[in-house]
A and B are shown apart, each in its own frame.
Chain A
Amino acid sequence: MSSKFLHIFGFAAAIVAIQIFTQLTDSSFHLTQLTMTAYYSLLVIGLCMLIGYAGQISLGHAGFFAIGGYISAFLTTHDLAVLKGKPFVASLTNLGILVMRKDTYGAELLTFNPWPACILSVCTVLIIAYVIGGPVLRLKGHYLAMATLGFGIIIYRIVLGTSSLGSADGISGVPGFSILPGVMIGGSGSGKILNYYVAWGILIAGMTCLLNLISSRVGRALSAIHGAEDAAEAMGIPTAHYKLRVFVLSAGFAAVAGVLLTHYNGSIGPSEASVMKSVRYVAIVAIGGMTSLWGAISMSLILNYFSLRGSFGTYDDAVFGVILILIMLFAPDGLIRRQVLGDLKAFFKRSAGKGVAL
């Protein structure tokens, strides 16, 4: 129990250390990518929950991310000023759900407040995940992979082909999201350092929730399902129910990540919904060791950061492809796992034992 909080505390300390390091070396421009990394990691830990703990692959999580981001972006940029006279719109304005704001050119816009937009988009994603999750999770193996892949492609095609969602350009000019008075995600002129801490703070909060979930009754039921679904069913665990709940939960994490990253960047484009993004998230979870949230989060930090910095150049997608193949061929349990330490210890013990015998 205490080791769990020790891990979280250590992780938080590392985040602070990174920030202080960038401050001291005067390289705080790294914080932008690190902040984006935190939001992508939020999706990755949700997906890790689904793949590693519930044992269900999803090749469509970029779809949930994009739905969340796009709905929020659309609501907070779509100008409703022409409808101002309508009583319904007026009452929404009085409730504070719609706000008047000025865009970058100084024109007056009547748009959704980011808070209701965020709640609306996350709720939409949860409903979509719940509705499609029922039939999708009855599938197994190849069929499950193809169905989730198909879902992802449908979302990609829709955002790419719909002109009110900006088609290939996506939506830009998304306003900042002030989650608390004085704390603004994105927007112009807001603090880099503040945004960095907000993003990683949200990630750590999400991580804490998932870690608690894993060590609860739900977590034990999930690991039983992953081990042997039929056996779990026979023990009286409602497997379909648990799988669906984790699916919806991970879609929710993806949606929150999508909304927050969209507000942080001020824009979203169709590439966020592409299949390659979904595959990339699966790759990160796989490298992290599938059943390790800490593995997933640390790999996400490293790979997303280097990818966002452009370190892989034009080989960006190829790097993830190669990683996927190598990991699945040689270390299907992932790179980061507790056994590695154990394996090493056992290895040294054996060689030490031999030394004595000789």
Chain B
Amino acid sequence: MELFLQYIVAGVTYGTIYAIVAIGFNIIYNTTGIINFAQGEFVMLGGMTAFTLKEYMPLPLAIVSAVVITMIIGALIEMVFIRWLHKPSVLRMIIITIGLSILIRETALHIWGEGVTALPYFTGTSVTSVNLGGVFISPQVFWAVGISSIMVLLLGIFFNFTLLGKQMRACSANREAARLCGISTQNMVTFSFMLSAAIGALGGCIVSPITYVQYDSGSQLAIKGFTVAILGGLGNSTAAVAAAMILGILESFSIWALPAAYKDVVSIAIMLIILFVKPSGLFGNAAAARLKEY
């Protein structure tokens, strides 16, 4: 029983990071209709930048600076590569964002090298653990789950109660109409890139002590995040969180049945099955999904 719970905790930990990547996908997808294949790279950039900055400043400040820097990079990427394209085709956008992910990854390789980096635990060390009814939980797990929950909550408030958030939602509902109402849709797109870069970077910082980050961590996270995003229904962030927990727990139990080397195979197989069987996602509405453009 304890072992069972221990696996659940491990699953939730991984689920948290998948949820963060998936939310990043959803924010950009909602405002632009683009799947940003470089989303995982934002997570990597956040973790790596914070690791470098913590040499010069206290940890909380390093994390905040890393988030801001990644945010600026996100904005720059949108302005340089995407803003001026006039109605690009989906194929073109896929290839451009894939190219961007390669470029970011290779730049990171030349800046930081191939080494694995990890931020220190926010509280305690790698061996501290809290005993909760026989289950040992690292304090970092509480940090990860706590910060992500607060983030999801804040995003909810942002999108529902602030003017900027409402403008972004208007932009995703109907771009033309939003423009007619005087919303600068171009700025909303830039803003959505900044927001999802920031969320990704923060995610990278909080999981860095647990899972480590290196220059090529991004692409794996991206495919997991995408799996979660479509599992929940593309564009639906609340459902993505639930889907992330499901995937994280399934993955952590798959180690029982399969060698650990095949862990990724399980989640990608789940993605393929969902795509083949119910592309609108577990919680999505098939009829509504058919009206969307992919």
**Chain A 210-261 residues near chain B, CB threshold 8 A:** none
Chain A residue contacts of B293, Cβ below 8 A: 141
Determine how close the nearest CB of chain B comes to the CB of A291; give it in whole angstroms.
12
CB-based contact B110/A314 at 8 Å: yes
CB-based contact B35/A146 at 8 Å: yes
Q: How far is the CA of A135 from the CA of B96 in the complex (A)?
A: 26
CB-based contact A328/B99 at 8 Å: yes
Known: A141-B91, A157-B262. A315 touches B294 (CB 8 A): no
CB-based contact B91/A57 at 8 Å: yes
CB-based contact B96/A139 at 8 Å: no
Among B98, B110, B264, B268, residue most surrounded by chain A Cβ atoms (within 10 Å): B98
CB-based contact B99/A135 at 8 Å: no
Determine how close the nearest CB of chain B comes to the CB of A331; give it in whole angstroms.
11
Q: How far is the CA of A143 from the CA of B278 in the complex (A)?
A: 12
Q: How far is the CA of A169 from the CA of B230 in the complex (A)?
A: 35
Q: Contact residue range for chain B?
A: 35 or more
Chain B residue contacts of A146, Cβ below 8 A: 35, 223, 226, 230, 271, 275
Q: Which residue in chain B gives the minimum CB-CB distance to A286?
A: B95
Q: How far is the CA of A59 from the CA of B279 in the complex (A)?
A: 19
CB-based contact B294/A328 at 8 Å: no
Determine how close the nearest CB of chain B comes to the CB of A156; give it in whole angstroms.
9
Q: Is A200 interfacial (CB-CB < 8 Å)?
A: no
Interface string of A281-323 (1 = CB under 8 A from B): 0110010000000000000000000000000001101101111
CB-based contact B94/A161 at 8 Å: no
Known: A139-B275, A275-B219. A57 touches B94 (CB 8 A): yes
Q: Which residue in chain B gives the minimum CB-CB distance to A325?
A: B99
CB-based contact A145/B94 at 8 Å: yes
Known: A154-B265, A161-B262, A324-B102. A142 touches B95 (CB 8 A): no
Instruction: Label chain B's interface by main secondary structure.
Output: helix
CB-based contact B94/A142 at 8 Å: yes
CB-based contact B226/A317 at 8 Å: no
CB-based contact B106/A142 at 8 Å: no
Residue in B35, B91, B99, B101 whose CB lies within 8 Å of A322: B99
Q: How far is the CA of A152 from the CA of B266 in the complex (A)?
A: 14
Q: How far is the CA of A332 from the CA of B271 in the complex (A)?
A: 30
CB-based contact A321/B102 at 8 Å: yes
CB-based contact A161/B99 at 8 Å: no
Q: Contact residue range for chain A?
A: 35 or more
Determine how close the nearest CB of chain B comes to the CB of A160; give it in whole angstroms.
7
Q: Which residue in chain A gives the minimum CB-CB distance to B277?
A: A135
Residue in B95, B265, B275 whose CB lies within 8 Å of A143: B275
Q: Is A100 interfacial (CB-CB < 8 Å)?
A: no
Chain A residue contacts of B35, Cβ below 8 A: 142, 145-146
Q: Is B153 interfacial (CB-CB < 8 Å)?
A: no
Chain A residue contacts of B85, Cβ below 8 A: 329
CB-based contact A315/B106 at 8 Å: yes
CB-based contact A153/B223 at 8 Å: yes
Known: A149-B223, A282-B95, A324-B96. A135 touches B102 (CB 8 A): no
Interface string of B256-291 (1 = CB under 8 A from A): 000101101100110110011001000000000000
Chain A residue contacts of B81, Cβ below 8 A: 325, 329
CB-based contact B275/A324 at 8 Å: no
Q: Which residue in chain B gives the minimum CB-CB distance to A138?
A: B276
CB-based contact B223/A161 at 8 Å: no
CB-based contact B219/A325 at 8 Å: no
Chain B residue contacts of A323, Cβ below 8 A: 99
Q: Which residue in chain A gives the minimum CB-CB distance to B294?
A: A141
Residue in B102, B219, B264 whose CB lies within 8 Å of A320: B102
Q: How far is the CA of A124 from the CA of B219 in the complex (A)?
A: 29
Q: Is A66 interfacial (CB-CB < 8 Å)?
A: no
Determine how close the nearest CB of chain A comes to the CB of B253; give it in whole angstroms.
18
Q: How far is the CA of A153 from the CA of B264 in the complex (A)?
A: 8
Residue in A151, A160, A318, A329 whose CB lies within 8 Å of B106: A318
Q: Is B57 interfacial (CB-CB < 8 Å)?
A: no
Chain A residue contacts of B99, Cβ below 8 A: 283, 321-325, 328
Q: Is A158 interfacial (CB-CB < 8 Å)?
A: yes
Known: A157-B265, A158-B265, A317-B102. A324 touches B223 (CB 8 A): no
**Chain B 134-151 residues near chain A, CB threshold 8 A:** none
Q: How far is the CA of A143 from the CA of B101 in the complex (A)?
A: 18
Q: Is A109 interfacial (CB-CB < 8 Å)?
A: no
Chain B residue contacts of A150, Cβ below 8 A: 223, 268, 271-272
Chain A residue contacts of B279, Cβ below 8 A: 139, 143
Q: Is B155 interfacial (CB-CB < 8 Å)?
A: no
**Chain A 56-103 residues near chain B, CB threshold 8 A:** 57, 59
Chain A residue contacts of B268, Cβ below 8 A: 150, 153-154, 157
**Chain A 120-177 residues near chain B, CB threshold 8 A:** 135-136, 138-143, 145-147, 149-151, 153-154, 157-158, 160-161
Other CB < 8 Å A-B pairs besides A57-B91, A150-B272, A325-B100, 16 of them?
A140-B90, A141-B90, A141-B94, A145-B35, A147-B276, A153-B268, A154-B265, A157-B265, A158-B265, A161-B262, A282-B98, A314-B110, A317-B105, A321-B101, A324-B96, A325-B81
Instruction: Report, nearest first, the 10 A-B pairs whose CB atoms are least far apart.
Output: A161-B261, A321-B102, A324-B99, A318-B106, A325-B99, A141-B90, A135-B276, A141-B294, A142-B35, A150-B268
A-B contact pairs, 21 of them (CB 8 A): A57-B91, A136-B276, A139-B294, A143-B275, A143-B294, A145-B94, A146-B35, A146-B223, A147-B272, A153-B264, A153-B268, A161-B262, A275-B219, A286-B95, A315-B106, A322-B99, A324-B96, A324-B99, A325-B96, A325-B103, A328-B92
